[in-house]
Structure 1
Amino acid sequence: MFKPTYLLISIFLLIGCSKPTVQSERHLDQIPPITEPMVVVPPEPSSLDMREWLLPKKNSRVRGAPITHIMLHFTNNALRDPQDPYNMEEVYALFEEYEVSAHYLIDRDGVIFQLVPEERAAFHAGIGHLLNYQEYKSGLNDYSIGIELLAVGTREEMLSIMPPDVYDSISPSDIGYTDAQYASLKKLLDDILQRNPLIKNDREHIIGHDEYAPVRKSDPGELFDWSRIGY
């Protein structure tokens, strides 16, 4: 049986590992937009083969700044269903339930789903800061594109949000990332970079959630191999 405490914090499987409770962080990824208006040119639409499965508009807002960064995350439904942690309907329902979001999600077979149009700011980054972009503090939603990958992190990364027996019941084949995911992520990144020239193709601009919010987040985690996408 799942303990209530762990069930309450299950949402943070959507955007990586988190130590605080849901009640204190439930809306951290819905940081208000920047206050100074900017001229934001919508990016060109993607030509990649992907499935559109848009979240309700309440899960995002009109973007208030130019796109300069990409943030990677992992997500799963392992806490509620460790035997089937990547059921897309259940993961999508969690996004809806907690009104968080990302622009794209890549499943275990490498299928790319678009959840939020790039011209809108998704609720995926929350509170945090980047050393060389202090003006972005807790405002990276407006400046970034969020990409979720269906994955489960290491035991250490996941034990802050699920009981040990739940993690140990997850199939080893469901831990980490797949070859298909890396291949699709590389194609998606190349596509985004081509259409968004303000995003530089380096690790300062293509980051993990853990680099922006290291106290709260650990995704994409130790099992994510940055070299597989050229970094």
Structure 2
Amino acid sequence: MQINEGWLSDARRVASPNANQRPQNEISLLVLHSISLPPGCFGGEAIEQLFTNTLDPAGHPYYARLDGLKVSAHLLIRRDGECVQFVPFDRRAWHAGRSSWHDAGKLRSNLNDFSIGIELEGVEIHPYTEQQYHALASVICALMASYPALDAQRITSHARIAPLRKTDPGPAFDWAFLRQCLERT
């Protein structure tokens, strides 16, 4: 995998309007998330519709609570390992929300300003697929090659940056297996 002008070469592009310029061209943190829409259901177009502001609030009872929500991620990794990119990495996606990160002894907020958000299609209590881990490891290697401020110590979860609000990617995410995949990639 390679990154050209902020886009992952192997990803399908679905441009999200929910992005803007980074205030400083810093990319120094990778945040892992999980998502499924409706909750616990995999496949379908709902995640892409959410990130492109086209999700029909009447399409499922859960969707009504998302009506008007403007969010995005840089990348979604589907259960089969397919990568879907919504925002170029050099732009700010709207994924972290209210959150903070301890960085070199200081507490930083506004994490969207300097982070890349990757969503894994899944729920926090069901195992993620081997294809997702392998795709994620390939993506991480490409990101670290393109953005030198990123390294393995600067990969975190939504749960760690917003612990009172979020729990994803959750206890089902196998950090040790991801490390093994990274070592093999």
* TM-score, normalization by structure 2: 0.80
Aligned to 1:70: 30
Counterpart code for 1:74: S
Corresponding residue SS for 1:230: helix
Select the residue among 83, 90, 98 that pairs with 1:119: 90
Aligned to 2:144: 193
Please list the CA deviations of residues 202-231 of structure 1 after superposition, one character each: whole Å capped at 9, or x if unmatched. Answer: 2xx100001100000000100000112217
**Does structure 1 conserve the Cα–Cα contact (< 8 Å) formed by 2:102 and 2:108?**
no
Aligned to 2:108: 136
Determine whether 1:178 maps to 2:149: no
Structure 2 unmatched runs, 5+:
54-68, 181-185
- Structure 2 CA distance for aligned equivalents of residues 113 and 91 of structure 1: 10
**Does structure 2 conserve the Cα–Cα contact (< 8 Å) formed by 1:51 and 1:114?**
yes
- Structure 2 CA distance for aligned equivalents of residues 122 and 101 of structure 1: 6
- Structure 2 CA distance for aligned equivalents of residues 69 and 182 of structure 1: 18
Quick check: which one's strand share is greater?
A: 2
Structure 1 unmatched runs, 5+:
1-42, 155-174
Pair 46,190 (structure 1): closer, same or farther in 2 beyond 3 Å: farther
Please list the CA deviations of residues 15-40 of structure 1 after superposition, one character each: whole Å capped at 9, or x if unmatched. Answer: xxxxxxxxxxxxxxxxxxxxxxxxxx
Question: How do residues 78-93 of structure 1 correspond to structure 2 at under 5 angstroms?
Answer: 78-79=38-39, 82=40, 85-93=41-49
Aligned to 2:176: 227
- Of residues 88-97 and 119-128 in structure 1, the stretch that sits farther from structure 2 once superposed is 88-97
**Does structure 1 conserve the Cα–Cα contact (< 8 Å) formed by 2:15 and 2:52?**
no
Root mean square deviation, CA, Å: 1.8
* TM-score, normalization by structure 1: 0.65
Aligned to 2:156: 207
Percent identity, aligned pairs only? 36
Quick check: which one's helix share is greater?
A: 1
User: How far did residue 54 of structure 1 move?
Assistant: 1.2
